[in-house]
């Protein structure tokens, strides 16, 4: 992700919301945080089983610090009344996310 962001500076704005960009940019190693959020978006799309835009999925932080997903457009429509949980983890050059829809 670090190399992709360096090579294509507008990539962050195309994949992430302004709030996500602001959050990641505020960190010492922004690429780790961008990567974890990208993983969460991909995991959500796979768990949902429907194609949606990455921009319709925003990773936010709850007041207690845990990650949450905010959905718009078709992502919100396809999710319907179901609930979603997300877990993020990153260390060094690696990141992962798990999304459960129930």
Domain assignments of the chain as residue spans, ordered by start: 14-101
Alpha-carbon gap, residue 98 to 47, rounded angstroms: 9
CB 35, CB 13: distance < 8 Å: no
Q: Is the pLDDT of residue 40 over 90?
A: yes
| Res. 93 pLDDT band, cuts 50 70 90 | confident
pLDDT of residue 9: 86
* CATH fold of 14-101: Ribosomal Protein L22; Chain A (3.90.470)
| Res. 92 pLDDT band, cuts 50 70 90 | confident
pLDDT of residue 42: 97
- pTM value? 0.93
Q: Backbone dihedral region of 11: left (phi > 0), alpha (psi from -120 to 50 degrees) or beta?
A: alpha
């Amino acid at each position: 992700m670090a190399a992709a962001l360096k090579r294509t500076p507008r990539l962050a704005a195309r994949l992430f919301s302004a709030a996500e960009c602001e959050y990641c940019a505020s960190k010492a190693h922004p690429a780790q945080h961008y990567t974890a959020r990208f993983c969460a978006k991909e995991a959500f799309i796979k768990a949902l089983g429907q194609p949606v835009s990455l921009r319709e999925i925003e990773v936010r932080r709850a007041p207690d610090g845990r990650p949450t997903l905010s959905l718009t457009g078709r992502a919100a429509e396809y999710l319907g009344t179901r609930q979603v949980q997300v877990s993020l983890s990153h260390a060094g050059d690696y990141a992962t996310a798990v999304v459960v829809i129930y």
